[in-house]
């Protein structure tokens, strides 16, 4: 699986390099030399891993077993991150930040919502105020613009 | 005398109240992140980059260096009391240290780790002070061809020595190099790997990649492994004052650990892990009571802890004099130099001598601060370990997205962060080392530039890399590092099959 992925990556890189329009003055060592090399190397390690996947058990390099994977926790965090980046601008950093924090805490198995909520509010408000007022960085205020 | 004069001037810089405060902030923060599992110095410095953009560079670098040292001090505490290393350089400390803690000698283990770190850190800093000017003289001999050869050497050693196998290291390195390609080619303005997306023309920021791999990838991985969540914190027991016996058994391993750690850090051999392993096995072999190892031998804590701190000092030498990062944290530090438009290398010592010598002087001060922070206050720091994991990772991801967003105020960077985080998760899950990827990302651009510059000077004649003696020597060493183990394994396999058939 991983091997195939790497071969594909190598191919993408190769095709991208082929499509480059190189000004003739730089023809000697242009911007495509390095990408070709990296494409070749990626394809090579990819091919190696593909070949290796059929190797006898002891010689096989990539094995992921011996432990359970909590796919649900992964999905929750993944979804949390995606939702966070979509609501960051419209709803503002404070709301999206609190949402992300609670999402991750929930995925890590915390069911102590009151404690998590209090920590989230304090942490997010403190970092918002510290960053915008203390360090002069811009963070989207969102719908709470007038309040803070 | 020249060196001492510069150093004195450095102390004058470092001792100003502002810089002392940065140093204290860095060392305190460093100790904290060292103690907390899941956050390392590379990630923290990456997150601090957008915030420090407006600071005075001297203060920022004093803070970063204190942070790097501090993380090494702090991680030993986690190793000893929780049996999970706070950083990869403390894996070995966990072996003996945790057994000592279980036997009620946790305090002695903490003490020998902290004092050993102090001894090694200070000796390492002395070594920087006197070696750096020599390295600068050497570096002045380097042209583009030599720089390129040196970077090739760094690539091969980093991918060969970090991680489980050469193939994994190379994969990680190549991924980093490929990510580094994204954006506009500096010399020709040719867009590469941008797929027509405008936001990609700027390239992918190293902060996004580092935070994605170290924070998001790590958080996803930890979330997917419920079996790795729990951990038992041992209370500190015993006196923090080491007995005469313990001193007697500690001081030699401290010195030997320093002697191993510093050169390994300074060589392009990838950071702090290897010297700690070497130091452990050396102490085991030299010990009069090897049977004690595995059952809580104090030498097994003293040696490796000294080695990892000395290695951090060593890492700074090629970084400052050649601009060559040999660990993931050093790669981020290099990015920090770029942020200030500073170019580490021989010229840095003349053009920004206040910064460089102020930084070196602050290392002496930082080490004293760290000894005080870590020895009497160890009990306070341990409370950090009581932070529940859900809150810890919630906080890590909150600050990761915050830091990445504030780079350019762009949501697009957050999408990239998410994708790199997925990549980091896969790498972590299938045991690919992450550090070569980060080093490849930042060094790849420089290597390509030097490669093309060398060929431009030689008018396209590729033989420059083999006719310059220094460049040739470096490339030969790189080839040995790369092919040596392969040949060795091949011969061993042949010998075995010969034995089996004969």
Read off the pLDDT of residues B123-142 as tens digits, 9 standing for 90 and up: 999 988 888 888 888 888 88
Identify the bridge partners of residue B191 per DSSP, sorted by sequence position: B184
Mean pLDDT in chain B?
Answer: 80
Give the CA count within 13 Å in the CB-facing half-sphere of B408: 17
**Considering only CB atoms, which chain A residues are within 8 Å of B219?**
77, 104
Give yes or no for residue B368 having a pLDDT over 70: yes
Mean pLDDT in chain A?
Answer: 70
Do A52 and A22 share a structural domain? Answer: yes
User: A59, A91, A107 — which closes off a domain?
Assistant: A59
Residue A64 lies in a domain: no
What pLDDT, on the 0 to 100 scale, is given for residue A28?
47
Do A31 and A6 share a structural domain? Answer: yes
Q: Please state the ipTM of this predicted complex.
A: 0.80
Residue A54 lies in a domain: yes
| Long-range contacts formed by B284-292: CB under 8 A, 24+ apart | B286/B256
- A27 pLDDT band (50/70/90 cuts)? very low
**Considering only CB atoms, which chain A residues are within 8 Å of B175?**
9, 42
What pLDDT, on the 0 to 100 scale, is given for residue B205?
81
CB contact under 8 A, A41 and B402: no
**Considering only CB atoms, which chain B residues are within 8 Å of A13?**
178, 181, 193
Of all residues in chain B, the one with the smallest CA distance to A38 is B174
Give yes or no for residue B196 having a pLDDT over 70: no
- B501 pLDDT band (50/70/90 cuts)? low
What pLDDT, on the 0 to 100 scale, is given for residue A88?
76
What pLDDT, on the 0 to 100 scale, is given for residue B443?
84
**Which of these ranges, A139-148, B9-18, B284-293, has the smallest mean pLDDT?**
A139-148
* Facing A138 at nearest CB: one of B409, B448, B452: B409
Q: Is A94 on the interface with B (CB under 8 A)?
A: no
Q: Is A124 on the interface with B (CB under 8 A)?
A: yes
Name the minimum distance, in Å, from the CA of A34 to any CA of chain B: 7
What pLDDT, on the 0 to 100 scale, is given for residue B150?
83
Pairwise CA distance, residues B30 & B17, whole Å: 20
User: A18, A38, A59 — which closes off a domain?
Assistant: A59
**Considering only CB atoms, which chain A residues are within 8 Å of B178?**
9, 13, 38, 42
Residue that is written with structure tokens 């403190």 in the block: A126
Do A130 and A78 share a structural domain? Answer: yes
Residue that is written with structure tokens 């003293």 in the block: B302
Give yes or no for residue B427 having a pLDDT over 60: yes
Pairwise CA distance, residues B308 & B265, whole Å: 9
Residue with the bigger pLDDT between A52 and B415: it is B415
- Mapped onto helix, strand or coil, the DSSP state of residue B228 is helix
DSSP code for B215: I
Residue A43 lies in a domain: yes
Q: Is A100 on the interface with B (CB under 8 A)?
A: yes
Most confident of the ranges A83-87, B74-78, B122-126: B122-126
Residue A11 lies in a domain: yes
Residue that is written with structure tokens 């059929």 in the block: A54
Residue A66 lies in a domain: no
Of all residues in chain B, the one with the smallest CA distance to A43 is B171
CB contact under 8 A, B394 and A82: no
Determine the average pLDDT of the residues in B307-336.
Answer: 87
CB contact under 8 A, A74 and B223: yes
Do A91 and A32 share a structural domain? Answer: no
Contacts of B216 (CB under 8 A, 6+ apart): A81, B397, B400, B417, B418, B420, B421, B424, B425
Give yes or no for residue B200 having a pLDDT over 80: no
Of all residues in chain B, the one with the smallest CA distance to A27 is B460
**Rg from Cα positions in chain A:** 24
DSSP code for B183: E
CB contact under 8 A, B406 and A67: no
Instruction: Report pLDDT digits (tens) over B11-35.
Output: 888 888 888 888 999 999 888 888 8
* Facing B390 at nearest CB: one of A31, A69, A116: A116
Domain that holds residue A6: 2-59
CB contact under 8 A, A29 and B391: no
Contact B183, B201 (CB under 8 A): yes
User: A15, A32, A59 — which closes off a domain?
Assistant: A59
Domain count along chain A: 2
**Considering only CB atoms, which chain B residues are within 8 Å of A102?**
394
Instruction: Report pLDDT digits (tens) over B52-71.
Output: 777 888 888 999 989 988 88
What pLDDT, on the 0 to 100 scale, is given for residue A23?
43
Give yes or no for residue B85 having a pLDDT over 80: no
Do A81 and A126 share a structural domain? Answer: yes
Of all residues in chain B, the one with the smallest CA distance to A100 is B398
Q: Is A91 on the interface with B (CB under 8 A)?
A: no
Determine the average pLDDT of the residues in B356-370.
Answer: 89
Contact B74, B381 (CB under 8 A): yes
Residue A127 lies in a domain: yes
Name the minimum distance, in Å, from the CA of A120 to any CA of chain B: 8
Give yes or no for residue B191 having a pLDDT over 80: no
Do A78 and A134 share a structural domain? Answer: yes
Sequence length of chain B is 502
- B202 pLDDT band (50/70/90 cuts)? confident
Contact A148, A128 (CB under 8 A): yes
- Residue by residue, DSSP assigns B391-432 as HHHHHHHHHHHHHHHHHHT-HHHHHHHHHHHHHHHHHHHTT-
Of all residues in chain B, the one with the smallest CA distance to A23 is B188
For an interface test with A, which of B211, B398, B459 has the most A Cβ atoms less than 10 Å from its Cβ? B398
CB contact under 8 A, A42 and B448: no
Q: Is A79 on the interface with B (CB under 8 A)?
A: no
- A52 pLDDT band (50/70/90 cuts)? low
Do A80 and A55 share a structural domain? Answer: no
**Which of these ranges, B200-204, B317-321, B427-431, B458-462, has the smallest mean pLDDT?**
B458-462
Of all residues in chain B, the one with the smallest CA distance to A126 is B399
CB contact under 8 A, B411 and A89: yes
Pairwise CA distance, residues B158 & B64, whole Å: 23
Name the minimum distance, in Å, from the CA of A25 to any CA of chain B: 10
End-to-end CA distance of chain A: 49
Question: What b/e string do you get for B95-129 counting C-beta neighbours within 10 Å, with b at 16 or more?
Answer: bbbbbbbeeebbbbbbbbbbbbbbbbbbbbbbbbb
Question: Which of B345, B386, B394, B314 lies closest to B81 in space, CA to CA?
Answer: B386
Residue A123 lies in a domain: yes
How much of chain B is in helix, strand and coil states, percent to nearest 5?
80, 0, 20
**Considering only CB atoms, which chain B residues are within 8 Å of A90?**
none
What pLDDT, on the 0 to 100 scale, is given for residue A68?
65
Q: Which pair of tokens denotes residue B402?
A: 């915050």
Do A82 and A29 share a structural domain? Answer: no
CB contact under 8 A, B393 and A136: no
Residue with the bigger pLDDT between B98 and B460: it is B98
Residue A65 lies in a domain: no
- State what percent of residues in chain B have pLDDT above 90: 2
Question: Which of B444, B430, B440 lies closest to B172 in space, CA to CA?
Answer: B440
SS (H, E, C) chain A: CHHHHHHHHHHHHHHHHHCCCCCHHHCCCCCCHHHHHHHHHHHHHHHHHHHHHCCCHHHCCCCCCCCCCCHHHHHHHHHHHHHHHHHHHHHCHHHHHHHHHHHHHHHCCCCCHHHHHHHHHHHHHHHHHHHHHHCCCCCCCHHHCCCC
Pairwise CA distance, residues B399 & B166, whole Å: 34
Name the minimum distance, in Å, from the CA of B212 to any CA of chain A: 12
Contact B63, B22 (CB under 8 A): yes
Do A45 and A88 share a structural domain? Answer: no
Instruction: Report pLDDT digits (tens) over A132-142.
Output: 776 666 777 76
Give yes or no for residue B327 having a pLDDT over 60: yes
Give the CA count within 13 Å in the CB-facing half-sphere of B279: 41
- A18 pLDDT band (50/70/90 cuts)? low
Of all residues in chain A, the one with the smallest CA distance to B394 is A101
């Amino acid at each position: 699986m991983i091997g195939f992925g790497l071969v594909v990556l190598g191919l993408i890189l190769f095709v991208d390099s082929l499509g480059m329009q190189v000004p003739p003055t730089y023809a000697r060592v242009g911007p495509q030399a390095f990408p070709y090399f990296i494409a070749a190397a990626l394809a090579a390690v990819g091919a190696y891993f593909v070949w290796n996947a059929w190797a006898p058990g002891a010689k096989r390099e990539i094995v992921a077993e011996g432990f359970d994977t909590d796919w649900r926790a992964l999905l929750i965090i993944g979804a949390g991150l995606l939702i966070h980046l979509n609501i960051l601008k419209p709803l503002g950093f404070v709301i999206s930040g609190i949402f992300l924090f609670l999402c991750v805490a929930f995925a890590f198995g915390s069911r102590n919502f009151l404690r998590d909520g209090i920590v989230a509010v304090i942490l997010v408000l403190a970092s918002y105020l510290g960053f915008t007022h203390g360090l002069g960085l811009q963070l989207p205020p969102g719908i709470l613009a007038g309040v803070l | 005398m020249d060196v001492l004069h510069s150093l004195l001037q450095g102390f004058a810089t470092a001792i100003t109240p502002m810089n002392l405060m940065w140093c204290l902030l860095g060392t305190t923060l460093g100790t904290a992140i060292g103690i907390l599992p899941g956050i390392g110095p590379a990630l923290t410095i990456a997150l601090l980059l957008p915030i420090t953009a407006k600071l005075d560079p001297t203060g920022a670098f004093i803070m970063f260096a204190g942070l790097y040292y501090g993380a090494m001090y702090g991680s030993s505490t986690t190793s000893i009391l929780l049996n999970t290393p706070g950083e990869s350089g403390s894996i070995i400390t966990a072996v003996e240290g945790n057994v000592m803690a279980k036997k009620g000698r946790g305090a002695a283990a903490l003490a020998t780790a902290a004092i050993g770190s102090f001894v090694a850190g200070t000796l390492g800093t002395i070594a920087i002070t006197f070696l750096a000017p020599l390295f600068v003289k050497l570096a002045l001999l380097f042209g583009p061809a030599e720089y390129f050869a040196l970077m090739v050497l760094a690539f091969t050693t980093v991918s060969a020595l970090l991680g489980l196998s050469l193939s994994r290291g190379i994969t990680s390195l190549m991924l980093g190099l490929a990510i580094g390609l994204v954006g506009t080619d500096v010399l020709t303005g040719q867009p590469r790997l941008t797929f027509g997306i405008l936001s990609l023309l700027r390239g992918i920021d190293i902060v996004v990649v580092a935070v994605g791999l170290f924070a998001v990838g790590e958080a996803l991985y930890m979330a997917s492994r419920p079996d790795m969540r729990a951990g038992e914190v041992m209370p500190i027991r015993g006196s923090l004052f080491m007995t005469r016996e313990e001193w007697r058994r500690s001081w030699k391993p401290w010195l030997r650990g320093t002697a191993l750690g510093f050169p390994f850090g300074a060589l392009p051999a990838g950071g702090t892990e290897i010297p700690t392993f070497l130091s452990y096995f050396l102490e085991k072999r030299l010990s009069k009571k090897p049977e004690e190892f595995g059952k809580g031998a104090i030498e097994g804590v003293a040696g490796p802890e000294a080695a990892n701190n000395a290695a951090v000092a060593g890492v700074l030498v090629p970084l400052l004099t050649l601009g060559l990062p040999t660990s993931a944290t050093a790669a981020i530090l290099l990015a920090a130099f770029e942020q200030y438009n500073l170019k580490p290398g021989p010229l840095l010592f003349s053009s920004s001598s206040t910064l460089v010598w102020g930084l070196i002087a602050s290392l002496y001060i930082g080490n004293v601060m760290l000894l005080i922070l870590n020895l009497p206050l160890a009990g306070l720091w341990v409370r950090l370990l009581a932070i529940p994991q859900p809150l810890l990772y919630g906080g890590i991801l909150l600050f990761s997205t915050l830091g990445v967003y504030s780079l350019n105020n762009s949501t697009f960077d957050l999408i990239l962060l998410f994708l790199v985080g997925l990549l980091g998760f896969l790498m972590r899950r299938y045991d690919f080392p992450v550090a070569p990827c980060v080093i490849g990302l930042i060094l790849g651009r420089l290597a390509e530039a030097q490669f093309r510059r060398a060929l431009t000077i030689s008018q396209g004649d590729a033989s420059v890399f083999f006719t310059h003696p220094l460049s040739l020597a470096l490339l030969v060493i790189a080839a040995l590092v790369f092919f040596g183990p392969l040949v060795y394994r091949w011969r061993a396999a042949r010998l075995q099959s010969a034995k089996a058939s004969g």
